[in-house]
Amino acid sequence: MSRQDGAAAGAPGEDAQAIRARLEELAARLAYHDQRYHADDAPEIDDAAYDALRAEYRALAQRHPALVADDGPESRVGATAAEGFRKVTHGIPMLSLDNCFATADVADWLDGIRNFLIELRDPTVPLELCCEPKIDGLSCALRYEDGVLVRAATRGNGSEGEDVTANALTLDEIPRRLAGSGWPELLEVRGEVYMSDADFLALNEQQAATAGKRFANPRNAAAGSLRQLDPAVTRSRPLRFFAYALGEVSRPFAHTQQGIRASLAAWGFRLNEPARHCTIHGQELAALVDYHDELERRRADLGFSIDGLVLKVDRLDLQARLGFVSRSPRWATAWKFPPEQAHTHVEDIVCQVGRTGRITPVAHLRPVAVGGVLVSRATLHNADEVARKDIRVGDLVVVQRAGDVIPQVVSVVPAARPADSRPWSFPQHCPACGAGLRREEGDADTFCPGGLTCPAQVQERLSHFVARHALDIDGLGERNIALFIAKGLIHGPADIFALESRDGTGIGPDGQRLPPLAEWEGWGAQSAARLFEAIRRARHPGFERFLVALGIRQVGEATARLLGRHFISIGALFACLDRLLAGDDEARAALLAIDGIGESLVSDLADFYREAHNRDTLAALLEAADGRAPWLEVADFIVPVAASVVAGKTVVFTGTLSRLSRSEAKAQAESLGAKVAGSVSARTDFLVAGPGAGSKAAKAAELGVTVLDEDQWLRLIATAAASGPAPAAAPD
C-alpha cells in the first residue's frame, strides 16, 4: 500500500508517514515498558501513563488499520520469557484484561456483552457476574495430572512462559497434590503469586540491612522472587498464591465461575476474597458500585495489594461464546481504583537522566505516607507538565501513587504558595555530562544525546549494549556491569573488549592492582573463561544487533531491520548521517524515502551522531576490533529493499513446502522486504501454495490474488536477489 493509500485510511490531510512513525514509536515504547514490567520486574512508568500510551496507540490503529504492523502492541501480551528458564507453550493463551476506570466504562462493557449475545439484548434478562479483588502479583499456571502438580509456568508473552516448577514447589499455598476428589485427570489452575503487605515490608527491611535489592512494591517483589534461577532464593521469600481461573482441563466439572471457585477451594487452593456474585438488571449498576466502593474502603485492611476488581460473566457457556478480542477476553474486565492521595511540600526539583537519556524532573518532597508507603519523591514527567501545573519549590501539593507504584504530583494548592515563589526553569544541559539537551518540536520529552558516554546513562546503556537482543554477551548482565564499573575496569563499551587482555593488570579505585577475574569472589576459572569467550563471539555482530546495541532513541529491532535492508554496512549508514549533518538534502531524502522512517527518527539518528562523544565511542569500538573492522562487516547480508521485486508486497504461505521450512520461507521473504501475513485478504499480493493449500487457495482465487507454487516463488525471489548488493541509500 502506498503512503497515499495509507493517508486515505484516516482523516483527509493526515500524513501517513508521520502516523506510521508515531505508531512505530508508540509500539517501541510499549514493548520497552512491557519488558520492564513483565520481564524485568522494574517498571519505569505508572499504570496511568502506560494506559495513556496504549490508548493513543489504539486510537491511531483504529483510524489507520493499513499502517499497523501485524506484531503490534494489540497482538502482544506481557513480555518474552527470560533466559535461563525452559520455555513453556500455553495450550490456551494467558491473556490480559482490558481496563475500566469509571462507572461509565463498566456500563459500556456491559452494553457490549448484551449487544454481542442476542438473548441478553432484552434489558429485563438479568446478567450474572462473578466479581473478585484484582490481585497485584505475577500470573502463574499450575498443571496437575492425576491430581499431582507436574508443571508451573509464568504468563510470559501470553503464548509462551517460563517453567518455574521447582520454584513453585517451594510455596506452601500451592498444593503438590490436590485434596478431595472429583478433579479432572488434567487440570490447569491459573492464579496469582503475590506477597502480603507485611511480608513485603519485612523483606525490604532485610534487603536494606544486607545491602540487597529493595523492591518498589509487593508485585515486583513477588515476581522477582518467583523468577529466580536458584529455587533456594524463592524458598527464602514469603510468597503466596491465589487461584481464580482455569486453563486446559480434560473434562468440564462446573457450569459457572462460582462453581469453579467452589471446586478449587475444595481441592486445596486459597481464593482471592472477598468475592461477590452480582446480578445486573438492565443498566442498574448499584450492586457493582457497592462492591467496588466496599473493596476500596477495605483495601488497606486486606493485608495484600489490590489495584481494583475483576468482573467476569459467571456462566461458562456465555464466556465461550463471547470469546476474545485482540489480547483480552470479552467476558471479563478490570475495574481499576483511583490512586490514593495526600498533601505535602516540594523541597526541591531535580532532573534525573534515564537509560535512553530522557530527562525527568523529580520533586523532592517532605516525606508523607500515601497508601501505606512513605513517599519522599514524585515524578513530574516532563517540562510541559511542570509548566502546566506550575509546580514550584516550596509549594504545597497533592500527591498520589498512580497505579499504586510511582508517586506523582496531582496539583498545587495555590492558596498555600509562599510570597517569594518563583517559577521553575528546565535546564538547558544534561546535569550528568553537560551535553546540550534536545527536544523535538511536538515532543513532550527532553533528551540527553550523550548516550554511552553520559555517566548517568552508562550502566543502563552498557547493560542494554550486552543484552540478548543486542550483542548478547552471556554472563555480563546488570550486576556484573555494575561490578566492573565499580572496579574501574569499564567506562564505555570498548572497554568490554579489553577485559580479557587487561585481566589481572587493572588498578582498582583504592589504587591497588586487581587480581585476575578467576580469583574474584563469586567467580572462578570456568566462569571467567565463559565470559571471555562470550565477549570474543560478540566482536562480530550483524548490522542489526550492533545498531540496536548503540541504544539510539527509537532504534529497536524493527527499525534496525528496516535500516539494514537499505544500507550495506554500518559505515554506509553513518556516511549518510555525515552528509546529513553537513546539510546534504539528498542524504535526508534517502532516509525519509525508507518506508517506516519518519522525521522524528531521522532527527534521533542525527542527534546521536552529532554528539562528538558518540563518534568517539564508535571510533573506540573500531579500535577494539584489532584493525579488522568487524563493526563494518555485513553479517547475513540483506538485499536492499529497492533492489527487491517483492519489497513492500504482502505474502501468505500455505500448504506443505518441500524445499523450505515455513520458518525459513517467512524469514527469506522478510529479508527481501516483503510482509508475511497469516491469512489471505484483498491486500495480499502473493499466495505461495504447496500441496494441501485448502481454503486459502480458494480465497486467493476469489480475490484475484496471484498464486505461486514453491518453484515459482523461488524463481521470483532469485530474480530479486540477483540485482546485487548495491545499497539503496548512501554509498560508502
d(CA 333, CA 101): 11
Residue 252 neighbours by CB under 8 Å, 6+ apart? 316
d(CA 255, CA 511): 72
Give me 89's grid cell: 507453550
Is 134 an active-site residue?
yes
Q: Are 277 and 130 in contact (CB under 8 A)?
A: yes
Q: What is the DSSP string of 246-296?
A: EEEESS---SBHHHHHHHHHHTT--B-SS-EEEEEBTTB-HHHHHHHHHHH
d(CA 349, CA 380): 9
How big, in percent rounded to 5, are the helix, strand and coil portions of the chain?
40, 20, 40
Name the active-site residue from 87, 134, 312, 696: 134
User: Where are the extended beta strands (E) located within 281-412?
Assistant: 306-313, 324-325, 328-329, 332-336, 341-353, 358-370, 373-379, 396-402, 406-412
Per-residue burial over 303-342, b if 16 or more Cβ lie within 10 Å, else e, is ebbbbbbbbbbbbbebbeebeeebbbbbbbbbbbbebbeb
Nearest to 619 by CA among 481, 452, 468, 489: 452
Q: Are 676 and 670 in contact (CB under 8 A)?
A: yes
- The three-state secondary structure class of 36 is helix
d(CA 476, CA 499): 11
d(CA 553, CA 445): 12
For the packed helices 455-465 and 478-486, what is the interaxial angle rounded to 10 degrees? 140
Give me 322's grid cell: 463471547
- The three-state secondary structure class of 638 is coil
Q: Are 226 and 234 in contact (CB under 8 A)?
A: yes
Residue 521 neighbours by CB under 8 Å, 6+ apart? none
d(CA 142, CA 88): 12
Per-residue burial over 487-503, b if 16 or more Cβ lie within 10 Å, else e, is bebbebbbbbbbbeeeb
CA neighbours closer than 13 Å in the CB half-sphere of residue 614: 23
Q: Are 416 and 395 in contact (CB under 8 A)?
A: yes
Q: Are 406 and 381 in contact (CB under 8 A)?
A: no
Residue 51 neighbours by CB under 8 Å, 6+ apart? 99, 101
The secondary structure of residue 68, as a DSSP letter, is -
d(CA 281, CA 538): 63
CA neighbours closer than 13 Å in the CB half-sphere of residue 24: 24
Residue 644, Cβ density class (10 Å: 0-12 exposed, 13-18 middle, ≥19 buried): buried
- Main-chain dihedrals φ then ψ at residue 199, nearest 5 degrees: -65, -35
Q: What separation, in Å, do the N-terminal and C-terminal C-alpha atoms of the chain show?
A: 31
Q: Give the residue numbers annotated as catalytic, written as ranges.
A: 134
